[in-house]
Structure 1
């Protein structure tokens, strides 16, 4: 019996895992490595920026970024990411995944360098140019989400597709680790060559003027992986699914994918018309809503709720890090040493809590499934955040710092061995080829809207540092995670099935061919 899919798509679904799949993971994953480094390295330098540009000798206290400025530096990158996701997601469906794939890297590389060159004669002007370039940096980063996910899903075979997409996203964890690691190494080098008194000994000179070079170098290094990856992205052919199903060129798709997989593939050009006729409906049409509306609501709502919690997870860092002896009070260290300690703390938390969760997802997603991993992750995040919220006062006691650290690390672990990974994977599988990039972009943009709620809502509420406010915030996050748990029931399991079977693109095509074959057979019998 002939396969119900086109020959080129059947070949992709059943291909053995080979070197090209691993190459595609690295090429797409390096984009996410760059994304994570660029977005999270700002955490390691934000306090240094405050001490460099906002020190007031009259107050005799370490300088710090004003709340509004801190929110803008973080928020502009998130707003840019949201805009980039929607813009490039739409372009990916309209012009092809490959045609716009290199543009995102170009924007990221240029804006990472420009962020480090932020200029101005006053603190306000430096922060203003930094916010401008961080917005456009986020714009490029945003485009990587739908394009990388879509390209990887359309290249992968159906047995390992989830693991491959999750592996691309897991490079985000590597990027976070390197953001802490690079900042720690560079601040350590600067500490060695540029010594300064502790703040308590001499507030005026505890911020080394050379530190102004340090934060700029950290930001500009984010351009390096983007530049190194550009050539290989441009060598990737367009995905076979886009070439065949959207451009209508099954012959070119068979040639491209045959060269990639090192096999000969039949073109099947005559079957394309049936696929197109079966999927001739627009985004947000009644037919789209009937087939995919529930899934789109599910992917958008779960990503939105997840990112409220995920981007609020650093609420307890001010208490966790000192209790774990990772950081000292700002008044006891100079500026570069403070950055070194914050970078080290970020590196340790990412290495022990964040990073393992990503790779647990890669190893278990095809065994447990996306659906159950997401349910487990949301539930466990809710449990641990609720425990932290209820017992926050007691957990701050240095005697309980081990318990506090374990609970805190577990929230990161189950975020990544859970919805932070699966909300990226599922939108790349649930929707048809012609709107896959757009639907993934809408889901990711909903996530960034949640991140903005975290940055401007949850974290602003807790900036006073009052214990009761942090307790309330942690319990609120436990509630949002339970909402995410409930919204997951709008989704369905996708493991082990082809993209066309999941999205319903082949619905009726195979049946139509069988009916046509039967009619032709009956016609031949009548003639005889």
Structure 2
């Protein structure tokens, strides 16, 4: 850096890995465990909802959710998440990270429980209340993204910061895995008293009476992990970077971090006045100065997250439909409703265990060695390759005996999503923007991702329908089929590869060096002709 940093920030940057780092990972990570559980558990029970509320007496097969209802149930939480990321990201910079951190957690817990208690006398009212509560559930989840990332980045040392932030996000993999395992346990517990399939004769009988309890319990269980860490969220001190650089209370920052680091940190009142009064700390968000310094960076983080989530969420939310299309999951008429939940959960658990979770932890292990840029490029490259490998010979993979190779390659797309852009798009926005904009810019980047998730969730629902099937299924417009949808997703991943070149490398640098906050000042407080943030290469040299 061009200028001397504050001692409290130097102490954080150079601190050895201590217990408080792991405590912060667990506290923030359990929020992400809950986020992933709540967002993706709905895909386990949507087919059950169709059976319970839309199977008509005398129908030739079990009912399914109408396309508009299915899109709403799957996508409404994403809409809430987008709104929450923008609102709580902005609020985290205005009021402080800690003050709003507990609010997001309580919102998630209350709405998880309320989702399972969705009420009504008919199908439409039950689905309406479910969508209402899942919107606000998503709103709370959205707030967890910028706050958790920002808190972890501001607590971490610069040597292992990437691994710590990625470890918080990696709890998302355990949330997906936990959702599948819990759904399997509940399914076995409720299905033990009922006869085995097939149920070809009477599809109505395949929806057993206790099925209505199963989906409600699965949704409500998402509140438990977050509740376990609520007390510790309230006990966390505000981050020193926010207290010193945004609130301009260096004395409090020193006191808080002296307790956390268990060292004495000297007060530097003159230094913080110098920093607070510098031109580098006066320009506004999306001002000309901000766009000059960070405009391309923000475009890079928003575009890559948007493109990644189109592919990632369409794969996660509709993997059951892809597996059904290739014949890996049996036809609905051969299972009762709880058997079907168990089968879908087993498939999701297998994918999570073999590819999703390992992918996250490969990133944790290697991000501070390989760097964010290299991992993101690698991930987008391999996702593109595997998508095209699945799509072009798709007719081959649907033949009997070829299902397992299809599932293996499909799993590898999840592995390289998580050992790739799904992790790095979360890490980088928490590192490259100034402290007073950090939570807001992360929220904007994450909201762009959720916009992509909505495109994936709603778009794939319609596009993946085969043209022939669409003509017979009322309400579905003609689609392009699973094969062409996979080609589209491969092209989206390739665009993500290209936009990665707008994202700077932050490996081994302090947060202030990346943002240019204190580096804009010389020892005597004179402004530099070329601020430090101008020297951050848009395309990093590896």
TM-score (normalised: structure 1): 0.94
2:35 matches 1:52? no
8 A contact 1:321–1:345 mirrored in 2: no
Q: Extract unaligned runs of 5+ from structure 2.
A: 469-478, 529-542
| Structure 1 residue 320: Cα displacement | 3.4
2:489 matches 1:477? yes
Partner of 2:401: 399
| Structure 1 residue 305: Cα displacement | 0.5
CA distance change for structure 1 residues 324 and 178 in 2, over 3 Å: closer, same or farther? farther
| Structure 1 residue 324: Cα displacement | 7.9
2:441 matches 1:454? no
Give me the whole-angstrom Cα distance separating, in 2, the residues matched to 1:442 and 1:252.
29
8 A contact 1:299–1:491 mirrored in 2: yes
2:291 matches 1:289? yes
CA distance change for structure 1 residues 216 and 106 in 2, over 3 Å: closer, same or farther? same
Partner of 2:186: 186
8 A contact 1:298–1:488 mirrored in 2: yes
| Structure 1 residue 475: Cα displacement | 1.1
Partner of 2:531: none
8 A contact 1:322–1:328 mirrored in 2: no
Moved more, 507-516 or 214-223: 507-516
Partner of 1:388: 390
| Structure 1 residue 272: Cα displacement | 1.0
Mapping 1:218-229, distance limit 5 Å? 218-229=218-229
Moved more, 121-130 or 394-403: 394-403
Q: How many residues align?
A: 515
Partner of 1:259: 259
Which residue of 508, 517, 520 maps to 1:508?
520
Task: Give me the CA root mean square deviation.
Answer: 1.9
| Structure 1 residue 321: Cα displacement | 5.9
8 A contact 1:62–1:199 mirrored in 2: no
The C-alpha deviation readout for 1:280-312, integer Å capped at 9, x for no partner, is 110011110111111000000000000011112
| Structure 1 residue 465: Cα displacement | 7.5
8 A contact 1:319–1:396 mirrored in 2: no
2:37 matches 1:37? yes
CA distance change for structure 1 residues 512 and 481 in 2, over 3 Å: closer, same or farther? farther
| Structure 1 residue 193: Cα displacement | 3.3
| Structure 1 residue 59: Cα displacement | 2.4
Give me the whole-angstrom Cα distance separating, in 1, the residues matched to 2:379 and 2:433.
23
Partner of 1:75: 75
Partner of 1:371: 373
8 A contact 2:59–2:203 mirrored in 1: no
8 A contact 2:97–2:151 mirrored in 1: yes
Partner of 2:536: none
2:350 matches 1:342? no
Partner of 1:86: 86
Partner of 1:492: 504
Mapping 1:20-419, distance limit 5 Å? 20-195=20-195, 198-276=198-276, 277=278, 278-314=280-316, 317-320=320-323, 327-419=329-421
Give me the whole-angstrom Cα distance separating, in 2, the residues matched to 1:457 and 1:468.
11
Q: Secondary structure at 1:399's aligned position in 2?
A: coil
Give me the whole-angstrom Cα distance separating, in 1, the residues matched to 2:527 and 2:168.
42
Give me the whole-angstrom Cα distance separating, in 1, the residues matched to 2:325 and 2:220.
29
The C-alpha deviation readout for 1:109-166, integer Å capped at 9, x for no partner, is 1100000000000000000000000000000000000000000000000000000000
Partner of 1:523: none
Partner of 2:534: none
CA distance change for structure 1 residues 459 and 339 in 2, over 3 Å: closer, same or farther? same
| Structure 1 residue 248: Cα displacement | 0.7
| Structure 1 residue 201: Cα displacement | 3.8
Moved more, 503-512 or 15-24: 503-512
Moved more, 349-358 or 25-34: 349-358
TM-score (normalised: structure 2): 0.92
| Structure 1 residue 398: Cα displacement | 2.2
CA distance change for structure 1 residues 515 and 372 in 2, over 3 Å: closer, same or farther? closer
CA distance change for structure 1 residues 296 and 319 in 2, over 3 Å: closer, same or farther? closer
Q: Secondary structure at 2:264's aligned position in 1?
A: coil
8 A contact 1:320–1:404 mirrored in 2: no
Q: Secondary structure at 2:13's aligned position in 1?
A: helix
Give me the whole-angstrom Cα distance separating, in 2, the residues matched to 1:168 and 1:465.
42
| Structure 1 residue 279: Cα displacement | 1.6
Q: Secondary structure at 2:431's aligned position in 1?
A: helix
Which residue of 436, 448, 455 maps to 1:434?
436
| Structure 1 residue 323: Cα displacement | 6.0
| Structure 1 residue 75: Cα displacement | 1.5
CA distance change for structure 1 residues 463 and 457 in 2, over 3 Å: closer, same or farther? same
